[in-house]
Chains A and B, each alone.
Chain A
């Protein structure tokens, strides 16, 4: 994705003043979009945000791919979305923008960016030392490369999830995955039952599902999670 393509993607979000993709370890600016003047320079923002991400990593101990950090400045809400171990996306919204809508826009943008984010370099996956990003020669010289997105899923975090490696049939694992990811998860199996018309008693013994029923359940799980494919 070229920078003009990136700008075209995010320009449609009217309350968005600016948006940057940043290489997490170095703070290098990967892509940028600005609508009008900003009171701070993108490079300054990029370095500051990368430092923030490193601090977060130091505290948490490992990278959490889908974290959001929200900063409120006069007239603007800045949301930093960590989308992988190597990439951050920084969104500058008008302060009037509700956080729920902002999160929704972010999810949509990240879904579309997924295939174009900077790839994780082995040297940058570890927790970063608390030094200025420009002092890390490996990260500084990383050239962002596209990484193929395995799934067009609702969130980048979910895209990297995998079904449990142990226990149960394939159908059982599918329903376990649903249980772990569905909104209102306690009601998820009932929703599958209603969508498919399959009795709850059958869904509770997934090893009894026929091939056709399994396909129905798979389609239902995709629908509930709002994804087109599952990490089977």
Chain B
């Protein structure tokens, strides 16, 4: 290899997007990731849902890994497989042992994020027989193809064992059987720059900007540990391919709009719920962390302070340049963004952008208001599932999306008010 992985990073400061090897990367926790995948399966059933998710992972990962080997100059199959395994772990997805040849092979997984995360979150109270690691599965197929310069979609992967059913580890079979061609489309920096409108400032930029800067510096040093796991802020963290979420949600939406239109409303509502959970667990977890205290200071509980912190976090995590247009404590929050990682995908890639699934920006609006008004931050907040459930059940907030960049408007804009 002629270059390091770091050389493949690109930050678009005007729009607060992060790219790695030409693919947009965002940071999400296991609460969000599990809920997101679960929603896909709820829509289509576990078997079809898993197939769609695996397919989405395959598409996103092929584009990503193809870009990565080119960027760093990895030429041999061994180099490329090692690179794929290294980046997978560095992004917090666990460890993949890619023992694959040109025709396929067996991939052993350890602490794979979804299976491991499911066990951590639900293992004590639910049973599950369907494998959980669709992302690792699609990633393994793509890694094989990229390593051996094969056509995208020429290899197929299936998770044969997963820790969620009590197995000691995970294993993924890669083969050439029943493969189907894929189009590894996704957002890239050039097309994002072309489609995005100029950025703009919101309120309290003088406070938000330095927090974003400090957070980015801190997060730049966060990577998977020896197990390929990032345990931070009370959650399991991943740096994830935004194209994965977007492909999966868009593909599922296309299917249910055709086959089960009555489910579309619930599907959108559940994606919004995923956004709310993300804001609560990830933003809240960071705000309550010692790292935040060292960087910004312990939250006093002032609602404006929480809203400012959350907007800064959204930017630092690669969600887009969210801004505060208006905030009236206990009453109203208006947030804008020239685009989010979801709406840019919808605008560029989706067949039916106006009806794109969305979710993160809209749902996070409610989560931010819950954090600002429903959490006791002093002496120290305990951001956990029990508190989240309590807040969710008595949620007084309602959100409206007034402008949608995906649908052709000039920006994304949401308004959160009391019911």
Contacts and interface: CB of A to CB of B under 8 A. Distances in A.
B127 A191 contact: no
Given A100-B119, A194-B42, A186 B392 contact: yes
Given A14-B168, A111-B127, A200-B266, A104 B260 contact: no
Chain A interface size, under 10 / 10 to 19 / 20 to 34 / 35 or more: 35 or more
13 contacts: A100-B119, A101-B119, A104-B163, A107-B124, A107-B126, A184-B389, A186-B393, A190-B269, A194-B267, A194-B270, A195-B42, A196-B263, A200-B269
Nearest to B35: A184
A199 B389 contact: no
Interface residues of B, number: 35
Given A184-B35, A200-B265, A190 B123 contact: no
A175 to B, nearest CB: 15
B166 interface: yes
B355 to A, nearest CB: 16
Interface of B: 35, 38-39, 42-43, 116, 119-128, 163-166, 168, 260, 262-263, 265-267, 269-270, 273, 277, 389, 392-393, 395
A108 interface: yes
A148 B306 CA distance: 53
B370 to A, nearest CB: 12
Interface in A138-182: 154-155
Given A100-B116, A106-B124, 8 more contacts: A12-B166, A100-B121, A108-B127, A154-B126, A184-B35, A186-B395, A194-B266, A199-B262
Contacts of A187: 270, 273, 392
Most chain B CB within 10 A, of A12, A187, A196, is at: A187
A2 interface: no
A231 interface: no
A191 B270 contact: yes
A196 B262 CA distance: 9
A225 interface: yes
A224 to B, nearest CB: 8
B120 A226 contact: no
B166 A13 contact: yes
**Which 10 pairs between the two chains have the least Cβ-Cβ distance?**
A104-B123, A100-B120, A103-B124, A193-B266, A194-B266, A186-B392, A100-B119, A108-B166, A197-B260, A226-B126
B319 to A, nearest CB: 21
Nearest to B46: A223
Interface in A9-29: 12-15
B162 to A, nearest CB: 11
Nearest to A194: B266
B126 A225 contact: yes
Interface in A181-232: 183-187, 190-191, 193-200, 225-227
Contacts of B125: 107, 154-155, 183
A212 to B, nearest CB: 15
B111 to A, nearest CB: 8
Given A195-B42, A199-B262, A199-B265, A154 B123 contact: no
A108 B164 CA distance: 10
